[in-house]
Structure 1
């Protein structure tokens, strides 16, 4: 059986993989994201995902290594994880009643075949027009501090989203349909990892 390695500390990504029957080996990349300064969100997440995976690839000679990265773009501004509660509150004031695009870069390396596939999933997120008190209460939970775009669809933040257009798992941090396509491109099926 081929080893599947997740180059991410994200509990949400791990749970998504486990939900579809892949129990990956988790190896946190600890890649310094500040090394990459790109203004195009599509290029940014793909580059970060690739570099995160590459730091883990160096430690292995076989298996699949998956690196991912997500950002939210609203009105041309890119949001990763907020640095503190004040920043999360300010972002939510900008996002409320607005539409953002959640970009998730996926980099899948197949060490046996010496191949890689890099793709970006994009999902539109429609934010509810919530009041300042609701934003303060949400930020106080600290959930937004752990997430790209300052919200977790699978958590309390899901209540503050009016709708999404596109892949919902992409918003959580890993597009399952995109992963299925990437695996197929490398001649694997998800059942190979069950």
Structure 2
């Protein structure tokens, strides 16, 4: 990433509502080009989603930034990400939290993310192939949960794996045209829901793909 690329990306992020200094620093230190194919390297610093393997996409940086900012990650947090893709979001989270567990239903993407993270020397990320809609109960509870695919409702198993005081950010909606980014905060009395704005994500699908 050249200084010009970095400056352009940071200006774009700030103009689209990403203002948290820690999040901006983490994104500045994470070269998005490492997470896309050579075909799309030239577009890695544009604020657009890009295709990756297994028919999936890597989200546009401003959406990644807004979701990360909303999550409010603290340095000692243990974070669950559902939907690894090629590992871009997890790499950013790795600079903000103590430990990241990221679950992906496509084995090919899990392998790819593991390779990229290893090349970047990220030692606090664990990549797992599995059904992310069920979370990772053996590692629960989590301080933060980030879901990068749209669910009809915030998944019950994921809500149950949030610690008291923890929060989850998840796109909710059944169609491409009608999705809302939701922040769920767990308290002693239940769950509080805040709408963060419209988004568009691939659907959260149950099961594992053996690709």
Normalising by the residue count of structure 2, what TM-score does the alignment of the two structures yield? 0.27
For the pair shown, the structure with the greater C-alpha radius of gyration is 1
Normalising by the residue count of structure 1, what TM-score does the alignment of the two structures yield? 0.28
Which is bigger in relative contact order (C-alpha 8 A, separation at least 6)?
Answer: 1
